Structure 1
Amino acid sequence: MKDYTFYTLVDFIQDDDFRDWVRGESRQEVFWLSFLDRFPDKRDDFLQAERFIRAASVRTDDIGEAEVRKETQQFMNQAMAYRPYRQKKNTPVFQRPRPLWSSLVLAASMLVLVGIGWYFSQDRKPVNYITTSHPATQPLVETYNNTTQPLRVPLDDGSVVWLSPKSRLRYANVFARTTRVVYLSGEATFSVQRRQQPFLVYSGRMITKVLGTRFVVRAFEQDRKMTVQVLSGKVSVYKAESAQIPANKEVKGLVLTPNQAAIFEKSDGNLTKTIVHNPALVTSRQQSPTFKYEETPISQILREIELSYGLPLQFDEQAFSHVKITADLSDASLPQKLDILCKAASSTYEITDGQIIVSRR
């Protein structure tokens, strides 16, 4: 059993299983996901090693040899600056470091040199990205998930992206001060840390803008449509063409809340709002109703559904207040609940602009 109490940045980089986990190939997924809960003091070294391994394992875009060597030199400077002991005031300037630390620094040096050799030995063929009207203003790192499982990609601001298989994400090692921008081709689930700087996801002609929330973007090049599904918080979705107009201070787009989704049709550029396929409860179990009813007005049940799923629900309150039902809807999905209620009240429902409209026949 390894002793992680004294693990350093170099130890993480040299750990075979840790490297496999960063690349999405480890069988110890649960262990590494919960590692920082047990060793919170290792957070800085853990995250820095994760970024270093990921950057060394993926192709980069528009980063030349000078840039790579600059990043390498910065890493080595940090490694040399960190010592596991305090130097005494009267220690000579040219005193040799302790043998153990010398070995670690040497190992890090060898690892970096091997990484540089591998980087420049690769076939640097250009990669076809989703077309975007927003060119990057700084060098970007690219991560491509060639595994069969979602790949965890940590970002500079503490946000985390779960990149789906056969998906590609481009992002800056360090975000700009004004905005946080990433480029997605494929599908990913975003868990964005709340900051004052907006977080923008460019996926072809569709832009998703948030401050901090959880959402899913699907934008494969071969698909006829792109979608955004909101899991929590609030998301703005708009077309890239709208953002190009300088005088357009208020961009026309859609504002999505939990359980709502946006669909962008590539053929005609149409952007519409709807709801997700299987909405989830937005309230906690303690706050949610039991969905077990005995001679309860359907109007009351519909209001409880509206609050529990966070979706706007439009209906004639007076028309449904006289219809009562006895039923157990606790195990039913939202569509099933609505089907049962509409059947009992001789009514129908439809989804329009991200809201549910229930009408009497």
Structure 2
Amino acid sequence: MQERNNYTEIEDFLANESFQRWIRFKNDQQGWEEWTLENPKRAKLVEEARLWLLAMKVNDTSLSPIVIKTALQSTWAKIDKKEKQEDPTIRIVKLLKKYRVNTAAAVLLFALLSTWFYNSLYIPESNIITYNELINENGEGLVEQTNNSNKAQIITLSDGSSVLLKPDSKLSYPKIFTGNERKVYLSGEGFFEISKNPKKPFFVYANEIVTKVVGTSFRIKAYNDQPNVEVIVRTGKVKVKSSQLIKDSKEKEIVLLPNQALRFIRKKLIFNKITDITLDKNLTQNEGNIEQLSFEFTDIPISQIFKTIEQAYLIKIDFPVEKLKNCHLTTSLNDQPLPEKLKIICKSIGNDTSYEMNGNQIIITSDGCN
């Protein structure tokens, strides 16, 4: 794959099958995303190739030729004005002259070019901060865990906090939290349940924003290739502000309470606070089991409690069914990280009940309930 370092034309990318799979099917086995983000000039060329590849694969449409011609002429007029500034979209103009595209392809390219053209010319790239930049700014030795699977993975931190890391996501964190703060770095999406420690606040750095908590549960969605960063609070309270790496932001710290969210528009440095997440379809549609299930239990069989935890965290719990079949529990496990939930359950059962975590596998050892 080192040959791609020498790519200088869009045609080079279009002829690469690995690049095509990445754009069309989000199959990034060759690490195209990280390779692209290493160089701003390279990222622009890759974006042009992506637009072209998407346009080439659109099905036919019934729009009239007059509508298409008018739309394209409007776009070309904007591009011609920027030709003397060597705008990168000129390469796409040349490609249009070189290749024949169908009607729908032309329409899609018009829409994509219009959006990309505006963003490239009027929104400063210096505002965009990526996961790699945040890691480079951090001087501590960090452990990085990447979820390349198709289901969420549970991560337990040294302070007892837990993170449900979604597919195509990364989390960097220290093996042991030292000093007066706990800091982690996220790329992608994760559901956090933070162990309470008022003297040692917890910070999640995700692209351009920093989320500060003491003990609560919340979800952060911060993919490098998406225009927004979202923070959704389930329990407790969080405070969100812009990263110190952003020099132009004038936004103040924003407080979020349960069932509230924040959508940060990355290129415009704008915070949109959502006071009721049930009114936002995008937020509610993306909720996971862990956000929908209740952890309030009143005289509930232990087996049912374990089943609820399995569904919430997408894990497997092995326990002595016969020994615990008559055990019931009344407890509240809301706002508790997974390790704390398991500790409370084991302590309530008694008789030297204990648990062991191995990735997404939990093993319960017990001689029965008290």
Which structure would you say has the larger RCO, counting Cα contacts within 8 Å and 6 or more residues apart? 2
| Both structures adopt the same fold (TM-score exceeding 0.5) | no
**TM-score normalised to the size of structure 2?**
0.38
Whose helix fraction is larger, Structure 1's or Structure 2's?
2
**TM-score normalised to the size of structure 1?**
0.39
Bigger Rg, which one: 1
